[in-house]
Amino acid sequence: MKSESKVTVLGAGLMGHGIAQVASTSGFEVSLLDVKQEFVDKGMAMVKNSLGKFVAKGRLDQAGADAVLKRIHPTTDLGRALAGAGLVIEAATENPELKLDLYRRISDLADPETVIASNTSSISITLLASATSSPEKVCGMHFFNPPQLMPLVEITRGNRTSDSTLDSVRAAAKRMGKETVTCLKDSPGFIVNRILVPALNEAVFLVQEGVATPEDVDKAVKLGLNWPMGPLQLLDYVGLDTTFNITQVFMQEFQDSKYRPSPLLREMVRAGKYGRKSGRGFYRWDSPDSTKSESK
Protein backbone atom coordinates (compact mmCIF):
# COMPACT_ATOMS: atom_id res chain seq x y z
CA MET A 1 0.00 0.00 0.00
CA LYS A 2 1.39 3.39 -0.95
CA SER A 3 1.94 6.10 1.65
CA GLU A 4 1.50 9.83 1.11
CA SER A 5 4.31 10.38 3.62
CA LYS A 6 6.97 8.50 1.65
CA VAL A 7 8.91 9.82 -1.33
CA THR A 8 11.32 7.77 -3.39
CA VAL A 9 14.14 9.57 -5.22
CA LEU A 10 15.78 7.59 -8.02
CA GLY A 11 19.30 8.89 -8.56
CA ALA A 12 21.64 10.10 -5.81
CA GLY A 13 23.70 12.45 -7.96
CA LEU A 14 23.93 16.21 -8.26
CA MET A 15 20.16 16.74 -8.32
CA GLY A 16 18.89 13.58 -6.64
CA HIS A 17 20.70 14.03 -3.35
CA GLY A 18 19.42 17.60 -3.11
CA ILE A 19 15.83 16.58 -3.87
CA ALA A 20 16.08 13.88 -1.20
CA GLN A 21 17.32 16.45 1.31
CA VAL A 22 14.50 18.86 0.47
CA ALA A 23 11.87 16.14 0.79
CA SER A 24 13.26 14.89 4.10
CA THR A 25 13.54 18.42 5.48
CA SER A 26 9.81 18.76 4.75
CA GLY A 27 9.01 15.70 6.85
CA PHE A 28 8.79 13.00 4.18
CA GLU A 29 10.39 9.62 4.71
CA VAL A 30 12.73 9.26 1.73
CA SER A 31 14.23 6.29 -0.06
CA LEU A 32 17.30 7.36 -2.03
CA LEU A 33 18.37 4.90 -4.71
CA ASP A 34 21.25 4.59 -7.13
CA VAL A 35 22.64 1.72 -9.17
CA LYS A 36 25.88 1.28 -7.20
CA GLN A 37 26.62 1.52 -3.49
CA GLU A 38 29.45 3.97 -4.16
CA PHE A 39 27.00 6.35 -5.86
CA VAL A 40 24.57 6.08 -2.94
CA ASP A 41 27.39 6.69 -0.47
CA LYS A 42 28.57 9.72 -2.41
CA GLY A 43 25.01 11.09 -2.49
CA MET A 44 24.62 10.68 1.27
CA ALA A 45 27.99 12.36 1.80
CA MET A 46 26.78 15.33 -0.25
CA VAL A 47 23.61 15.50 1.87
CA LYS A 48 25.71 15.51 5.07
CA ASN A 49 27.95 18.22 3.66
CA SER A 50 24.97 20.36 2.65
CA LEU A 51 23.30 19.95 6.03
CA GLY A 52 26.58 20.93 7.69
CA LYS A 53 26.54 24.20 5.77
CA PHE A 54 22.94 24.87 6.84
CA VAL A 55 23.95 24.30 10.48
CA ALA A 56 27.03 26.52 10.15
CA LYS A 57 24.88 29.34 8.75
CA GLY A 58 22.30 28.99 11.52
CA ARG A 59 19.51 27.91 9.15
CA LEU A 60 19.16 24.57 10.91
CA ASP A 61 20.29 23.25 14.30
CA GLN A 62 22.26 20.03 14.65
CA ALA A 63 19.28 18.09 15.98
CA GLY A 64 17.26 19.17 12.95
CA ALA A 65 20.07 18.16 10.60
CA ASP A 66 20.35 14.76 12.27
CA ALA A 67 16.58 14.24 11.90
CA VAL A 68 16.74 15.09 8.18
CA LEU A 69 19.53 12.58 7.69
CA LYS A 70 17.67 9.90 9.66
CA ARG A 71 14.62 10.16 7.38
CA ILE A 72 16.71 9.40 4.26
CA HIS A 73 17.10 5.68 3.64
CA PRO A 74 19.80 4.86 1.05
CA THR A 75 19.50 1.69 -1.04
CA THR A 76 20.49 0.04 -4.31
CA ASP A 77 17.38 -2.19 -4.37
CA LEU A 78 14.66 -0.71 -6.63
CA GLY A 79 11.87 -2.85 -5.19
CA ARG A 80 12.75 -1.82 -1.64
CA ALA A 81 13.01 1.83 -2.66
CA LEU A 82 9.57 1.81 -4.29
CA ALA A 83 7.75 -0.09 -1.54
CA GLY A 84 5.05 2.09 0.00
CA ALA A 85 5.99 5.27 -1.91
CA GLY A 86 3.20 7.70 -2.75
CA LEU A 87 5.49 9.77 -4.97
CA VAL A 88 8.49 8.65 -6.99
CA ILE A 89 10.81 11.40 -8.22
CA GLU A 90 13.08 10.14 -10.98
CA ALA A 91 16.39 12.01 -11.18
CA ALA A 92 18.39 9.60 -13.33
CA THR A 93 20.95 10.55 -15.98
CA GLU A 94 19.48 12.60 -18.84
CA ASN A 95 19.47 9.69 -21.28
CA PRO A 96 16.15 8.71 -22.90
CA GLU A 97 16.90 4.98 -23.30
CA LEU A 98 18.15 4.67 -19.73
CA LYS A 99 15.08 6.45 -18.41
CA LEU A 100 12.65 4.38 -20.50
CA ASP A 101 14.15 1.16 -19.15
CA LEU A 102 13.85 2.52 -15.62
CA TYR A 103 10.19 3.49 -16.14
CA ARG A 104 9.37 -0.02 -17.35
CA ARG A 105 10.90 -1.44 -14.20
CA ILE A 106 9.10 1.08 -11.98
CA SER A 107 5.80 0.19 -13.63
CA ASP A 108 6.36 -3.49 -12.85
CA LEU A 109 7.25 -2.92 -9.18
CA ALA A 110 5.38 0.15 -7.91
CA ASP A 111 1.82 0.40 -6.61
CA PRO A 112 -0.43 1.27 -9.60
CA GLU A 113 -1.62 4.39 -7.77
CA THR A 114 1.88 5.74 -7.16
CA VAL A 115 2.61 9.04 -8.87
CA ILE A 116 5.82 9.06 -10.91
CA ALA A 117 7.40 12.47 -11.49
CA SER A 118 10.48 13.04 -13.64
CA ASN A 119 13.09 15.65 -12.83
CA THR A 120 14.08 15.64 -16.50
CA SER A 121 14.97 19.02 -17.91
CA SER A 122 14.21 18.19 -21.53
CA ILE A 123 12.95 14.66 -22.27
CA SER A 124 9.31 14.20 -23.25
CA ILE A 125 7.04 13.32 -20.33
CA THR A 126 4.66 11.63 -22.77
CA LEU A 127 7.51 9.41 -23.99
CA LEU A 128 8.50 8.41 -20.46
CA ALA A 129 4.89 7.75 -19.49
CA SER A 130 4.48 5.46 -22.51
CA ALA A 131 6.82 2.96 -20.83
CA THR A 132 4.40 2.53 -17.90
CA SER A 133 1.03 0.85 -17.47
CA SER A 134 -0.43 4.01 -15.87
CA PRO A 135 0.61 7.00 -18.03
CA GLU A 136 -2.00 9.17 -16.32
CA LYS A 137 0.12 8.91 -13.15
CA VAL A 138 3.25 10.36 -14.80
CA CYS A 139 4.25 14.04 -14.98
CA GLY A 140 7.29 16.29 -14.92
CA MET A 141 8.60 17.72 -11.64
CA HIS A 142 11.70 19.67 -12.58
CA PHE A 143 13.74 21.06 -9.68
CA PHE A 144 16.55 23.55 -10.19
CA ASN A 145 20.15 23.35 -9.05
CA PRO A 146 20.75 23.34 -6.15
CA PRO A 147 17.33 22.02 -5.07
CA GLN A 148 18.06 22.92 -1.44
CA LEU A 149 18.13 26.64 -2.35
CA MET A 150 16.26 27.20 -5.61
CA PRO A 151 12.57 27.95 -5.00
CA LEU A 152 11.08 26.87 -8.34
CA VAL A 153 9.62 23.56 -9.54
CA GLU A 154 8.33 23.20 -13.11
CA ILE A 155 5.41 20.79 -13.33
CA THR A 156 4.74 19.41 -16.80
CA ARG A 157 1.64 17.69 -18.11
CA GLY A 158 2.18 14.75 -20.43
CA ASN A 159 -0.37 13.86 -23.09
CA ARG A 160 -2.25 11.54 -20.71
CA THR A 161 -1.40 13.06 -17.32
CA SER A 162 -4.48 13.36 -15.09
CA ASP A 163 -5.50 16.48 -13.20
CA SER A 164 -5.29 14.55 -9.93
CA THR A 165 -1.65 13.68 -10.65
CA LEU A 166 -0.80 17.34 -11.22
CA ASP A 167 -2.65 18.29 -8.03
CA SER A 168 -0.72 15.68 -6.03
CA VAL A 169 2.63 16.90 -7.30
CA ARG A 170 1.74 20.55 -6.68
CA ALA A 171 0.77 19.65 -3.12
CA ALA A 172 4.05 17.79 -2.58
CA ALA A 173 6.05 20.71 -4.00
CA LYS A 174 4.18 23.15 -1.76
CA ARG A 175 4.93 20.97 1.27
CA MET A 176 8.60 21.15 0.23
CA GLY A 177 8.36 24.95 0.29
CA LYS A 178 8.55 25.38 -3.48
CA GLU A 179 6.80 27.72 -5.89
CA THR A 180 5.43 26.00 -8.99
CA VAL A 181 4.73 26.81 -12.61
CA THR A 182 2.83 24.50 -14.95
CA CYS A 183 3.80 23.60 -18.50
CA LEU A 184 0.43 23.09 -20.14
CA LYS A 185 1.88 20.96 -22.92
CA ASP A 186 4.80 18.60 -23.20
CA SER A 187 7.28 20.81 -25.05
CA PRO A 188 11.06 20.10 -25.02
CA GLY A 189 12.90 22.11 -22.38
CA PHE A 190 9.59 23.15 -20.83
CA ILE A 191 9.75 26.86 -19.83
CA VAL A 192 13.11 27.64 -18.24
CA ASN A 193 15.47 25.52 -20.34
CA ARG A 194 13.74 26.49 -23.56
CA ILE A 195 14.98 30.01 -22.79
CA LEU A 196 18.17 29.21 -20.87
CA VAL A 197 19.96 26.53 -22.91
CA PRO A 198 20.21 28.57 -26.14
CA ALA A 199 21.60 31.45 -24.05
CA LEU A 200 24.22 29.19 -22.44
CA ASN A 201 25.16 27.75 -25.82
CA GLU A 202 25.57 31.25 -27.26
CA ALA A 203 27.92 32.12 -24.38
CA VAL A 204 30.09 29.14 -25.40
CA PHE A 205 30.11 30.38 -29.00
CA LEU A 206 31.44 33.75 -27.75
CA VAL A 207 34.41 32.01 -26.11
CA GLN A 208 34.94 29.68 -29.10
CA GLU A 209 35.02 32.62 -31.51
CA GLY A 210 37.49 34.53 -29.32
CA VAL A 211 35.04 37.38 -28.73
CA ALA A 212 35.70 37.40 -24.98
CA THR A 213 37.22 35.36 -22.15
CA PRO A 214 34.97 33.21 -19.94
CA GLU A 215 35.48 35.71 -17.11
CA ASP A 216 34.37 38.67 -19.21
CA VAL A 217 31.38 36.83 -20.67
CA ASP A 218 30.25 36.02 -17.14
CA LYS A 219 30.97 39.52 -15.85
CA ALA A 220 29.07 41.11 -18.75
CA VAL A 221 25.95 39.02 -18.16
CA LYS A 222 26.04 39.40 -14.37
CA LEU A 223 26.40 43.19 -14.48
CA GLY A 224 24.57 43.87 -17.73
CA LEU A 225 21.62 41.49 -17.34
CA ASN A 226 21.62 41.23 -13.53
CA TRP A 227 22.04 37.45 -13.52
CA PRO A 228 23.25 36.23 -10.10
CA MET A 229 25.75 33.95 -11.88
CA GLY A 230 27.38 34.21 -15.31
CA PRO A 231 26.33 31.73 -18.03
CA LEU A 232 29.64 29.85 -18.17
CA GLN A 233 29.88 29.47 -14.41
CA LEU A 234 26.26 28.32 -14.48
CA LEU A 235 27.15 25.80 -17.18
CA ASP A 236 29.80 24.40 -14.87
CA TYR A 237 27.22 24.05 -12.11
CA VAL A 238 24.55 22.48 -14.33
CA GLY A 239 27.05 20.22 -16.11
CA LEU A 240 28.33 20.68 -19.66
CA ASP A 241 27.31 17.10 -20.45
CA THR A 242 23.76 17.72 -19.22
CA THR A 243 23.48 20.89 -21.28
CA PHE A 244 24.92 19.16 -24.34
CA ASN A 245 22.37 16.35 -23.96
CA ILE A 246 19.56 18.91 -23.83
CA THR A 247 20.75 20.49 -27.09
CA GLN A 248 20.60 17.03 -28.67
CA VAL A 249 17.00 16.60 -27.54
CA PHE A 250 16.13 20.06 -28.87
CA MET A 251 17.75 19.29 -32.24
CA GLN A 252 15.85 16.03 -32.55
CA GLU A 253 12.48 17.33 -31.37
CA PHE A 254 12.39 20.75 -33.04
CA GLN A 255 14.41 19.86 -36.16
CA ASP A 256 15.85 23.36 -36.04
CA SER A 257 19.55 24.21 -36.47
CA LYS A 258 19.29 27.15 -34.09
CA TYR A 259 19.68 24.63 -31.25
CA ARG A 260 22.95 23.24 -32.66
CA PRO A 261 25.50 22.90 -29.85
CA SER A 262 28.73 24.85 -30.07
CA PRO A 263 31.62 22.68 -31.31
CA LEU A 264 33.55 23.84 -28.23
CA LEU A 265 30.81 22.51 -25.96
CA ARG A 266 30.93 19.15 -27.78
CA GLU A 267 34.74 19.05 -27.55
CA MET A 268 34.77 19.80 -23.81
CA VAL A 269 32.20 17.07 -23.12
CA ARG A 270 34.27 14.57 -25.13
CA ALA A 271 37.29 15.58 -23.03
CA GLY A 272 35.39 14.88 -19.80
CA LYS A 273 35.28 18.55 -18.83
CA TYR A 274 31.78 18.50 -17.39
CA GLY A 275 32.19 21.37 -14.94
CA ARG A 276 32.06 21.26 -11.17
CA LYS A 277 31.32 17.53 -10.90
CA SER A 278 34.46 16.57 -12.86
CA GLY A 279 36.70 19.32 -11.46
CA ARG A 280 37.17 20.95 -14.87
CA GLY A 281 34.91 22.98 -17.10
CA PHE A 282 35.19 26.63 -18.00
CA TYR A 283 36.61 27.02 -14.49
CA ARG A 284 38.81 24.88 -12.25
CA TRP A 285 36.74 23.26 -9.50
CA ASP A 286 39.49 21.13 -7.98
CA SER A 287 41.23 24.31 -6.85
CA PRO A 288 40.28 26.64 -3.98
CA ASP A 289 40.04 29.41 -6.61
CA SER A 290 36.99 28.34 -8.59
CA THR A 291 36.89 31.71 -10.34
CA LYS A 292 40.05 30.92 -12.27
CA SER A 293 39.20 29.88 -15.79
CA GLU A 294 40.35 26.58 -17.24
CA SER A 295 42.19 28.42 -20.00
CA LYS A 296 44.65 29.95 -17.55
Question: Among residues 188, 191, 159, 181, which one has the least CA distance to residue 246?
Answer: 188
Question: How many whole angstroms separate alpha carbon 89 and alpha carbon 20?
Answer: 9
3-state secondary structure of 107: helix
Residue ranges per domain, the chain? 3-183, 193-278
- Residues comprising the chain, all counted: 296
Architecture of domain 3-183: 3-Layer(aba) Sandwich (3.40)
- Return the closest-CA partner of residue 60 out of 184, 191, 149, 143: 149
Per-residue tens of pLDDT for the chain, all 296 residues: 566 789 999 999 989 999 999 999 999 999 999 999 999 999 999 999 999 999 999 999 999 999 999 999 999 999 999 999 999 999 998 888 999 999 999 999 999 999 999 999 888 999 999 999 999 999 999 999 889 999 999 999 999 999 999 999 999 999 999 999 999 999 988 999 999 999 999 999 999 999 999 999 999 999 999 999 999 999 999 899 989 988 988 998 899 889 999 999 999 999 999 999 899 999 999 865 555 566 44
Phi-psi map region of 11: left, alpha, beta (phi>0 left; psi -120 to 50 alpha):
left
Annotated active-site positions, please?
121, 142, 154, 193
Give which of 59, 73, 61, 58 is closest to 28, Cα–Cα. Answer: 73
Q: What is the pTM of this model?
A: 0.85
The strand pair at 152-157 and 179-183 is best described as parallel
Q: What is the number of alpha carbons within 13 Å of residue 127 lying toward its C-beta?
A: 16
CATH number of 193-278: 1.10.1040.10
